[in-house]
Structure 1
Amino acid sequence: MTTTSERVADSRTRQVSQRISQSVFDGSRLRVVLLVDVHDGAQQQFLEAYEQLCNQVASVPGHVSDQLCQSIENPSQWLITSEWESAPPFLTWVNSEEHVRMVQPLHSCVRDTRSLRFHVVRETGGPAVEADAGSRRLQTAPRIGDGVIRHALTFTVKPGSEQTVAGILADYASPEPKVDDTTALIRTSLFMHGNRVVRAIEVRGDLLAALRHVARQPEVRAVEEAINPYLEQDRDLNDGDSARVFFTRAALPAVHHVTAGQESPVTERHALYYPARDGRGMRLAELLAEQDAAAADDTGNPVLRSTIFQRDDVVVRLVDLRGGSDADPASVLGLGDRARTAELPELIDTAALGADASVLREGASARLLTLARMDLITDRRAPGV
């Protein structure tokens, strides 16, 4: 069992670097809070759907427990909390097709939901709880953030339509950045790699409020309608269930972010695509996160900021660079320490990049960077950012 002095020492060590503002890979327990607004009169239907879902979730690897609560003031408001051994198994499950199928029965009785995810930092409750906490992992020190939430969406378009889609996505009027007094759009960056589209957004405030704000803008809705015929996954934005399923599958959560050193007056933004082998996406994202965390203390590293997004076998790394992207290809790729990347051939699907395993060998970083780099379609910042 870790002693108090060891925990304090580790905490001090963790606080020396105040650069990492987000990571799901610290190994601590995860608490998930789901706020649910149920349609009037549908409480019993919701309860039955939840019990069915609860029985299925109990067998998901990494799941510890869950609890369902109903408001004492408004019977339409419910709260679901669940505990997980760590964030990665939860994210693997919540971003899976299995999860999409599991929650389908809830859609007809739920008006609105909001999901919040937290690492457990401290825990109280007497000797029994403290003893149990000693054997379960807690986040040892608070992370330092910058107030910005990072999220992305990804989807594929029909082969042959790439240029048409790129033209549509590049040509639209930016929505009003201010959502309300506490929420604003900071930056939207859109990239393509072959027929895969990635839209990364940065929000200050409430992410869900920002996404809803953007969806309501007529100029954004017009662009979404214009690309509908070219999507590989059909969607009907006038059908709530169709739109919900599409955007659930398109969600590309940020699993790690690091900002290194002082702000540079001149930066370039790039996105890199790392297709993972079947079932290895989370481990590939973790490996890249380890590399970025280690490189953050290297003042000669060209990467100022790096954000890693992952869902299933899609891993995307968004980087802001000091200067050009070709000066140090290995560092730009996040693969500067070759001793840490021996397992890359087991993780990256090089065939999806149109190459063979030789592209992962030491000395081939420039070629891998060329293959992984996504095409920038548009990068828009809010005024004053």
Structure 2
Amino acid sequence: MTTTSSAPADLLTRQVSQRVSQSVFDGSRLRVVLLVDVYDGAQQQFLEAYEQLCNQVASVPGHVSDQLCQSIENPSQWLITSEWESAPPFLAWVNSEEHVQMVEPLHSCVRDTRSLRFNVVRETGGPAADAAAGDRRLQAAPRIGDGVIRHALTFTVKPGSEKTVAKILADYASPEPKVDDTTRLCRTSLFMHGNRVVRAIEVRGDLLAALRHVARQPEVRAVEEAINPYLEHDRDLDDPESARVFFTRAALPAVHHVTAEQDDPRAERHALYYPARPEQGMRLAELLAQHDAAAAEDTHSPVLRSTIFQRDDVVVRLIDVRGGLNAAGPAPALGPLDPAQAAELTTLLDDAGPSAAQDGDITRRLLDLARMTPVTDRRSPDA
């Protein structure tokens, strides 16, 4: 299970940039809320499955406590809340194969679920009243976002099929951007690195509603069916359980987002893929987040926006760059400028090569290794 050290997170908390609108690395405690709709008559089965699950969760590093609540108005509605020491240990667990297998017994009795994650900003009463804010590890200040939710999916295709898959993914008609009165698809960016596909989406409103909306669009469904024969891991989109497991494993959550003060409508979007060594994905993402938080304060930085996505040992950095990667130069585009950070980056990457740390042009070589091939980048007309 991927973990991250507390010291770098504490450092980031003290130096956090006001331009960081999203981050899991500030050391704050995490509250997770899971809304569950149970099938009629399956309440006892659900309770038994939960009791088995909570005994397993209690031993997960970083877990503090959890509660199970049943609605006083509708017996089919349940609420599970859990507290974690910080976001990284929770994400390491919830994105693991161990978690996929652990929650499987719940799905036979659950109609729908919705997971919400919150950093603890303030609390009152009880033990909190006598504790200093630093001792409680609360988020120091509210983050100011832009109203856009960022999420990504990643999966691999069979070696040799990359060109065919890229053509399929590039040629489909764009889905209707309006989901409902409050939710809209803003942008979809798709990249490939070897046989790995990464699809990043930006949504204003309700992410879950947007994902369901996209899945129902006939043009998207046709594309998904067309690439099925080329996937390394089989799936059956007509089987809800098969589709659920596939998209659960494909989810690539955003763990950090930073926006520089300046903007440029001509900025180019690029993606960089950082395959981490086993158990080092979260630390690698944290290192990149530290760099981006500091670089956002530099008015001369060519990187205007950066979003880091991470799951297990897959780390992807989506960046909007003024003038493109070649004009930016390898170091700002790649990430760490500090020699010590650059050296640590090579130790965390899975395919940097044993002599990378001694290479006189580390950043140029790493940028060539990390650069993803753009397939499509689409914005809704009024995004």
TM over 0.5: yes
On the 8 A contact 2:151/2:202 being kept in 1, the answer is yes
Task: Return 362-371 or 152-161, whichever deviates more.
Answer: 362-371
Q: 1:47-62 counterparts in 2 under 5 A? A: 47-62=47-62
Q: Which residue of 2 aligns with 1:154?
A: 154
On the 8 A contact 1:123/1:133 being kept in 2, the answer is no
Letter in 2 for 1:300: H
Q: Which residue of 1 aligns with 2:129?
A: 130
Q: CA deviation at 1:12?
A: 11
Distance in 2 (alpha carbons) for counterparts of 1:288 and 1:33: 28
Q: CA deviation at 1:299?
A: 1.1
Distance in 1 (alpha carbons) for counterparts of 2:258 and 2:339: 20
Structure 2 residue runs of 5 or longer lacking an equivalent are 1-11
2:324 match: secondary structure: coil
Distance in 2 (alpha carbons) for counterparts of 1:329 and 1:341: 12
Q: 1:31-110 counterparts in 2 under 5 A? A: 31-110=31-110
1:342 match: secondary structure: helix
Q: Which residue of 2 aligns with 1:24?
A: 24
Distance in 1 (alpha carbons) for counterparts of 2:316 and 2:358: 17
Letter in 1 for 2:52: Q
Q: Which residue of 2 aligns with 1:338?
A: 339
Distance in 2 (alpha carbons) for counterparts of 1:190 and 1:242: 23
Distance in 2 (alpha carbons) for counterparts of 1:360 and 1:226: 45
Distance in 2 (alpha carbons) for counterparts of 1:132 and 1:230: 56
Q: Which residue of 2 aligns with 1:238?
A: 238
Q: Which residue of 1 aligns with 2:216?
A: 216
On the 8 A contact 2:13/2:27 being kept in 1, the answer is no
Q: 1:169-180 counterparts in 2 under 5 A? A: 169-180=169-180
1:163 match: secondary structure: helix
Shift of the 357–77 alpha-carbon distance from structure 1 to 2, 3 Å rule, reads farther
2:197 match: secondary structure: strand
Structure 1 residue runs of 5 or longer lacking an equivalent are 1-9
Give me the identity figure in percent: 80
Q: CA deviation at 1:203?
A: 0.2
On the 8 A contact 1:344/1:360 being kept in 2, the answer is no
On the 8 A contact 1:308/1:315 being kept in 2, the answer is yes
Distance in 1 (alpha carbons) for counterparts of 2:13 and 2:194: 44
Aligned residues: 370
Q: Which residue of 1 aligns with 2:185?
A: 185
Letter in 2 for 1:177: P
On the 8 A contact 1:287/1:341 being kept in 2, the answer is no
Q: 1:260-275 counterparts in 2 under 5 A? A: 260-275=260-275
Q: Which residue of 1 aligns with 2:348?
A: 347
Q: Which residue of 2 aligns with 1:5?
A: none
Q: CA deviation at 1:350?
A: 1.8
Q: CA deviation at 1:365?
A: 1.6
Distance in 2 (alpha carbons) for counterparts of 1:11 and 1:247: 32
On the 8 A contact 1:330/1:366 being kept in 2, the answer is yes
TM superposition score normalised by structure 1: 0.93
Distance in 1 (alpha carbons) for counterparts of 2:136 and 2:294: 26
1:300 match: secondary structure: coil
On the 8 A contact 1:359/1:367 being kept in 2, the answer is no
On the 8 A contact 1:326/1:366 being kept in 2, the answer is no
Letter in 2 for 1:263: D
On the 8 A contact 2:346/2:356 being kept in 1, the answer is no
Answering whether residue 145 of structure 2 is matched by residue 145 of structure 1, we say yes
Q: CA deviation at 1:356?
A: 4.5
Distance in 2 (alpha carbons) for counterparts of 1:28 and 1:357: 37
Distance in 1 (alpha carbons) for counterparts of 2:19 and 2:124: 28
On the 8 A contact 2:66/2:83 being kept in 1, the answer is yes
Coordinate RMSD, CA, aligned: 1.7
Letter in 1 for 2:243: A
Q: CA deviation at 1:362?
A: 5.0
Distance in 1 (alpha carbons) for counterparts of 2:247 and 2:315: 17
Shift of the 296–234 alpha-carbon distance from structure 1 to 2, 3 Å rule, reads same
On the 8 A contact 1:271/1:316 being kept in 2, the answer is yes
Answering whether residue 378 of structure 2 is matched by residue 376 of structure 1, we say no
Q: CA deviation at 1:49?
A: 0.4
Q: CA deviation at 1:345?
A: 3.1
Letter in 2 for 1:129: A
Distance in 2 (alpha carbons) for counterparts of 1:339 and 1:346: 11
On the 8 A contact 2:271/2:318 being kept in 1, the answer is yes
Q: 1:241-260 counterparts in 2 under 5 A? A: 241-260=241-260
TM superposition score normalised by structure 2: 0.93
Q: CA deviation at 1:338?
A: 2.0
On the 8 A contact 2:186/2:202 being kept in 1, the answer is yes
